[in-house]
Structure 1
Amino acid sequence: MSEKAFYVSTPIYYVTAPPHIGSAYTTVAGDVLTRWHAQRGERKWYLTGTDEHGEKVMRSAQAQGMSPQEWTDKLVEESWKPAWVDVDIDYDDFIRTTEKRHTERVREFWQTLYDSGDVYKGEYEGLYCVGCEEFKLPTEIKVDEDGSKRCTIHGTELEMVSETNYFFRLSKYGDKLLELYESQPDFVAPLSARNEVIAFVKQGLQDLSITRSTFDWGIPVPWDEKHVLYVWIDALLNYVTAAGYGTDPERFEELWPADVHLVGKDILRFHAVIWPAMLMAAGVAVPKQVFAHGWLLVGGEKMSKSKLTAIAPKEITDHFGSDAFRYYFLRTIQFGSDGSFSWEHLSAVYTSELANGLGNLASRIAAMVGKYFDGVLPEPVDHGPAEQALADRLEVAARVADTAMDSLAFHDALAAINDLVGAVNGYVSEQEPWKVAKDPELKARLATILYTSAEVLRAVAVLHHPTMPKAAAKLWTLLGAEDKLGPLTDQRIQTAGTWGQLPAGAVLVKGDSLFPRLAD
């Protein structure tokens, strides 16, 4: 059997409209996390995909004058997959819930639970939000002055739904879920999300309606095809059906349990309560962690397709590039908390940290090595206190960044790398190699200053590769590191902070700017 892969998943996204930067934020986070583990030399497996059943999708298709399958096919191929190219996502699998590999396994899963007695028939009446695809609890309902009742997330008016449905005995698993949260303290993260979930379960769980009979766009219930399965209990199973559940036991053993499910905080309960209860009922291991991040806010409000406040990733990447997109959102927002986006802030971070910071530093060092040493990295023979301080700082920065990634503290990891770049810029300003170069007797000192700066940039290329793969690859080429050290993908995070890896004799090539200055 192969080694267990580090398995990360995004939510599978509703295909009611093209993706916005909120969806891209989650997907980039998962991509950076899995690339980081790959840079450690681990096997990674990254899953994303689309959720294509349910009433919301059906109504969206009807509004376009298309069948649900035609509408989802169009959106996936013309909008969703191209968007992940725009932000440079390296997923290992893209699952669609209309695929047979998923639908057949879903029917088998629920047939098993029905046969075991965990599913029964009953009546249900309640207020339903089509946007959430969820019956709402009293605490999730906003009552207007005119008495109309609205979803607290979407602001849309709720619909009273009365149906004869099948129910999953969710209430049976309350104590087992609390035992799970106690025995695996990191199962739900961050801490605020964990506390929310525990409080919710302690209030007592109600059995869950798992079928709908008022529309037919869904997976037919295997024992009663007048019903379709509730979209959520269909969609949640994508994490195991994509991993080979029910079809490929060896593959499933290599992938499951997932290491991290990344979700938005608005769908936390589905993933941290309903999903593990479903797995418990089927005798399948639960994932290792469900991590709920916050919302992206624009103008103080959560982005919404329905309110037409969504921003397409391409609007940003066409101007700033995919690397800047990936860096900005993970650098400036504490993952797990809400974060605000503005064009002005993005432009300021791009200019100060990427163009004037890392990009300018790389260009200056390459230019000076070219000017003073014909482009060949010189031997450092005058390593003194200033150089040792920088070497020590590099070791700490690499260690801090690696530790931060383990807790999904992307902003801390990127802050440590950015501070390291700032330290090198400070070192160059203090050492003033352009002045040192005027004295032929200080040639050894000049060589040491430029080597020291290039050696830190070698580590920065490795550390930034998961977040900014294109810019890191350009930096690796600029340093002439490929010929001396091999491919960037073969460099390891664990040893990135070890001093002296870039050998003298590397040929530096000053190419295009890593981050060109942009017009407003």
Structure 2
Amino acid sequence: MHLQAEKLLFSSHGSRWKRSLMPIHTLYCTSCNGCSDIANTNKSFPAKNGNSFTITTPLYYVNAAPHLGSAYPTVAADAIARFQRMMGRDVRFITGTDEHGEKIATAAARRDMTPQEHCDDIVASYKHLWEKLDISYDAFVRTTSAAHESLVKAVVHRVAAKGDIYAADYTGWYCVDCEEFKDEGELLEGRRCATHLKPCRWHAETNYFFRLSKYQSDIESLLRSDESSSAPSPSPSATSSSLVMPHARRNEVSIFVTKGLKDFSISRANVDWGVPMPDIGIQIPGSKKDSVEGLQTDSSHSEKGVTDSGRGKEAQQTVYVWFDALVGYLSGLLQCPPLSSATAAPTSSSPSTSADIAHVLAAHGWPADVHVVGKDILRFHALYWPAMLLSAGLPPPRAVFSHGFLTKDGFKMGKSLGNVVDPKALVEAYGADAVRFYLLRENVFGQDGDFSEVALRRAAGTVLANGIGNTLQRSVAILDRSFGGCFPVDSDSLDANAPLRIAAEAAGAAAMAAYQEFRFHDALEAVMKLCAATNAYLDNQEPWKKIKEDESSKAAAGQTLTYVCEAIRIVAVMMHPTTPALSERVFEQLGLSSKEWRWEGVQWGGIQKGSAFPSPSPVFRRIECEMVTMPPAELVSIAQGKTRERKGRDGGVKKEGEGKGKRGGSKEGAKGVTEGQVRKEGESREKGARKEKRSKKEDENVEILDGTEEK
């Protein structure tokens, strides 16, 4: 609700409303920490501008620098955002970082930094990479910002006012890296975490829990609306009403829900690096303390003017990182200006705050049209987040799209194999266009994929350098020499039934449908088909020969070359969501303006007779750099060595020098274990580690979350 800072509002109790410390326009009553007005969840939510489109990436955890697994969904989300802008939508593209939790504090201590210094350093590396990858985000949210902290506290108050928070004790085995309690049945030998392979410690504390079980029927209804949708498309804005996409992931979520949703903890005791749990009028009974080593405290997270003793026992609690991070989608959206056609938010002195805040968020573009997330965090976004929003009186997201994981040449990336791919090094070697094109062309978004630098070089060389770059340069070079650097005819002069023109129209239609449904590989397949048709047309017409003959032949050659340039212009429009820099260079080479990209630009007829273009220059240079990642042969050799080493530890006879995992192992040492066997073994171990277990707790509605989805 947009309010003047000096304006006083009063609750139905006659008490003054307390204003949060950020422009979130959220109020709560100082008498009861929330009136019945606040507690009222109104499911008739205000409609946002139908022309808006809001998309988010995950808020990336800053325990380490960005990697290929964070670059992949960000590139995909950027392609979606750019396409929607081309369709005339008012886009809000949100990304950012999740910066709280014990794991962050521990990582900072190892680097001899404060947690804030560590976060600032890692955040800078994310922003630098996004700049290099041409990520066109509208807001970058940080969960350590004062604005975000205020909003988290406001949401906690609203959920508590609804009666959806209670205090309960828990004791169990705790993984610091997961920042999560573990059921003993899911631990490996030695009580080691199955995800991080590190020993867990016994931990006893009292937390606040969220009543997720209360929203069982609401979540079931959301998923039933998914199942009733007959549309096979994963597009949330065009042909599908699916909350969870793709279909296989939706089935996984549905199966989980049928087992019964369990309440989950939304606070942590003695974890200082986090948003302090606000006073919600619920005392922690018999708060237990246990030592948590390796943490550093940052006083910036204390509430100014209030002592620890004044905060009561809640002062020992910080908000759980997932509850904190999910609210980041709202605080990030509120960094953006209101939508251009948004109606004014209500400013009544007697606010029905659920509706008012819903109106404010709707004016900024909420609900999100799609959250792009990894399959490991799907449950949080598809189940816990919608329930949290409903509890706070806000609409759930329209869609959650779950992408798969990337391997490296068929192997899971990890430090032990030395095959972690640094996206920054890739961009420096090949450029953003090549990396973006490869990630979206060679992988089916929504399924597990693989990264191969050899395939990247091949794809970039075949399509970007040859199919687009070389074809364009050959054509404009001849036009420059023979027609004075101007196009001799209108491109629209080509007959409407000409095969090249028909191919261009078909490619444009196919690419548009594919982009709408997040089928990037199919959109780029349409591009490749048009490139192939254009090159075939050029080779068949042989304008380089005709240009040397009589005037009539020269004129025909000029027409052919203009039509080829027109086809490449359309390719550039189709490629803009994927390779924006390359598309701009193509337009510059053609002497065209690229200030505003619109999808209608795929229509034939964009080149005018007599329009000039600059001297020919490459729009994509040939790849001549060295490989920057481990060659596949070395990776196979190391993986096989690791396999033999494990067998040796398990009681097998290990020969001297065997299984040390040195790079460049001999071919003889690689015999006996195939790449497929190594990959199958890795997949089997991963599947076993991810098997879900349930805690046998006195309160059957309390769930201990599977650590594989944790921060």
TM-score normalized by the length of structure 2: 0.68
Match of 2:329 among 239, 242, 252: 239
Equivalent position of 2:367 in the other structure: 257
How far the C-alpha of 1:491 sits from its partner, in A, is: 3.9
Q: Per the alignment, in what secondary structure is the counterpart of residue 257 of structure 2?
A: helix
How far the C-alpha of 1:443 sits from its partner, in A, is: 2.8
How far the C-alpha of 1:434 sits from its partner, in A, is: 1.3
Equivalent position of 1:472 in the other structure: 583
Equivalent position of 2:468 in the other structure: 358
Rounded to whole Å, the distance in 2 between the matches of 1:419 and 1:381 is 20
Match of 2:136 among 64, 85, 90: 90
Rounded to whole Å, the distance in 2 between the matches of 1:325 and 1:454 is 25
Query: Would you say 1:505 and 2:610 are equivalent positions?
Result: yes
Conserved? CA contact 1:55–1:133, under 8 Å: yes
Rounded to whole Å, the distance in 2 between the matches of 1:106 and 1:447 is 63
Query: Would you say 1:22 and 2:32 are equivalent positions?
Result: no
**More helix per residue:** 1
Equivalent position of 2:663 in the other structure: none
How far the C-alpha of 1:155 sits from its partner, in A, is: 4.2
Equivalent position of 2:93 in the other structure: 46
Match of 2:319 among 211, 214, 229: 229
Query: Would you say 1:151 and 2:200 are equivalent positions?
Result: no
Equivalent position of 1:195 in the other structure: 251
Equivalent position of 1:485 in the other structure: none
Rounded to whole Å, the distance in 2 between the matches of 1:406 and 1:374 is 41
Residue 596 of structure 2 aligns to which amino acid in structure 1?
A: D
Rounded to whole Å, the distance in 2 between the matches of 1:101 and 1:332 is 40
Conserved? CA contact 1:378–1:447, under 8 Å: yes
**Number of aligned residue pairs:** 509
Moved more, 56-65 or 497-506: 497-506
Conserved? CA contact 2:548–2:554, under 8 Å: no
Conserved? CA contact 1:210–1:233, under 8 Å: yes
How far the C-alpha of 1:263 sits from its partner, in A, is: 0.5
Task: Name the CA shift for 1:308/1:74 in 2 (closer, same or farther; >3 Å).
Answer: farther
Conserved? CA contact 2:463–2:528, under 8 Å: yes
Conserved? CA contact 1:220–1:229, under 8 Å: yes
1:203-248 Cα offsets, whole Å, 9 max, x none, are: 1111101111032111111121211111001100111122239989
1:3-47 Cα offsets, whole Å, 9 max, x none, are: 753111110011111101111111111111111111222221111
Q: Per the alignment, in what secondary structure is the counterpart of residue 619 of structure 2?
A: coil
Rounded to whole Å, the distance in 1 between the matches of 2:491 and 2:317 is 77
Task: Name the CA shift for 1:305/1:137 in 2 (closer, same or farther; >3 Å).
Answer: farther
Conserved? CA contact 1:106–1:234, under 8 Å: yes
Residue 112 of structure 2 aligns to which amino acid in structure 1?
A: G
Rounded to whole Å, the distance in 2 between the matches of 1:19 and 1:88 is 15
Equivalent position of 2:387 in the other structure: 277
Conserved? CA contact 1:97–1:103, under 8 Å: yes
Equivalent position of 2:438 in the other structure: 328
Conserved? CA contact 2:491–2:608, under 8 Å: no
Equivalent position of 2:150 in the other structure: 104
1:305-333 Cα offsets, whole Å, 9 max, x none, are: 79864322220111110111111101110
Rounded to whole Å, the distance in 1 between the matches of 2:523 and 2:249 is 22
Conserved? CA contact 2:51–2:89, under 8 Å: no
Match of 1:424 among 534, 549, 567: 534
Equivalent position of 1:516 in the other structure: 621
Task: Name the CA shift for 1:354/1:387 in 2 (closer, same or farther; >3 Å).
Answer: farther
Q: Per the alignment, in what secondary structure is the counterpart of residue 207 of structure 2?
A: strand
1:170-189 mapped onto 2 (5 Å cutoff): 170-184=212-226, 185-189=241-245
Rounded to whole Å, the distance in 1 between the matches of 2:93 and 2:562 is 37
Conserved? CA contact 1:39–1:492, under 8 Å: yes
Rounded to whole Å, the distance in 2 between the matches of 1:341 and 1:249 is 43
Rounded to whole Å, the distance in 1 between the matches of 2:117 and 2:148 is 18
How far the C-alpha of 1:149 sits from its partner, in A, is: 3.8
Rounded to whole Å, the distance in 2 between the matches of 1:309 and 1:99 is 34
Task: Name the CA shift for 1:129/1:213 in 2 (closer, same or farther; >3 Å).
Answer: same
Equivalent position of 1:81 in the other structure: 127
Conserved? CA contact 1:39–1:489, under 8 Å: no
**More strand per residue:** 1
Q: Per the alignment, in what secondary structure is the counterpart of residue 12 of structure 1?
A: strand
Match of 1:163 among 190, 201, 205: 205
Conserved? CA contact 2:162–2:392, under 8 Å: no
Rounded to whole Å, the distance in 2 between the matches of 1:88 and 1:442 is 43
Q: Per the alignment, in what secondary structure is the counterpart of residue 212 of structure 1?
A: strand
Task: Name the CA shift for 1:39/1:244 in 2 (closer, same or farther; >3 Å).
Answer: same
Q: Per the alignment, in what secondary structure is the counterpart of residue 333 of structure 2?
A: coil
Task: Name the CA shift for 1:424/1:129 in 2 (closer, same or farther; >3 Å).
Answer: farther
Conserved? CA contact 2:491–2:606, under 8 Å: no
> CA RMSD of the aligned region, Å?
2.4
Conserved? CA contact 1:382–1:444, under 8 Å: no
How far the C-alpha of 1:134 sits from its partner, in A, is: 3.6
Task: Name the CA shift for 1:302/1:102 in 2 (closer, same or farther; >3 Å).
Answer: farther
Task: Name the CA shift for 1:382/1:174 in 2 (closer, same or farther; >3 Å).
Answer: closer
Rounded to whole Å, the distance in 2 between the matches of 1:290 and 1:132 is 23
Rounded to whole Å, the distance in 1 between the matches of 2:52 and 2:458 is 38
How far the C-alpha of 1:252 sits from its partner, in A, is: 4.2
Query: Would you say 1:492 and 2:602 are equivalent positions?
Result: no
TM-score normalized by the length of structure 1: 0.92
Query: Would you say 1:62 and 2:168 are equivalent positions?
Result: no
Query: Would you say 1:208 and 2:264 are equivalent positions?
Result: yes
1:286-320 Cα offsets, whole Å, 9 max, x none, are: 11110010111124344357986432222011111
Task: Name the CA shift for 1:457/1:59 in 2 (closer, same or farther; >3 Å).
Answer: same
How far the C-alpha of 1:127 sits from its partner, in A, is: 4.2
Task: Name the CA shift for 1:490/1:468 in 2 (closer, same or farther; >3 Å).
Answer: same
Unmatched segments (≥5 aa) in structure 2: 1-47, 227-240, 280-313, 336-355, 627-711
Q: Per the alignment, in what secondary structure is the counterpart of residue 151 of structure 1?
A: coil
Rounded to whole Å, the distance in 1 between the matches of 2:617 and 2:369 is 39
Conserved? CA contact 1:280–1:286, under 8 Å: yes
1:442-453 mapped onto 2 (5 Å cutoff): 442-453=553-564
1:445-492 Cα offsets, whole Å, 9 max, x none, are: 21221121111112112221222121111110111122xxxxx24242
Rounded to whole Å, the distance in 1 between the matches of 2:409 and 2:555 is 54
Task: Name the CA shift for 1:190/1:126 in 2 (closer, same or farther; >3 Å).
Answer: farther
Rounded to whole Å, the distance in 1 between the matches of 2:615 and 2:187 is 59
How far the C-alpha of 1:2 sits from its partner, in A, is: 7.0
Task: Name the CA shift for 1:3/1:191 in 2 (closer, same or farther; >3 Å).
Answer: closer
Unmatched segments (≥5 aa) in structure 1: 483-487
How far the C-alpha of 1:164 sits from its partner, in A, is: 1.2
Task: Name the CA shift for 1:328/1:123 in 2 (closer, same or farther; >3 Å).
Answer: same
Conserved? CA contact 1:86–1:313, under 8 Å: no
Task: Name the CA shift for 1:136/1:199 in 2 (closer, same or farther; >3 Å).
Answer: farther
Task: Name the CA shift for 1:279/1:448 in 2 (closer, same or farther; >3 Å).
Answer: same
Task: Name the CA shift for 1:340/1:381 in 2 (closer, same or farther; >3 Å).
Answer: closer
Rounded to whole Å, the distance in 2 between the matches of 1:386 and 1:41 is 27
Conserved? CA contact 1:87–1:313, under 8 Å: no
Match of 2:57 among 10, 13, 17: 10
Conserved? CA contact 1:243–1:255, under 8 Å: yes
Larger radius of gyration: 2
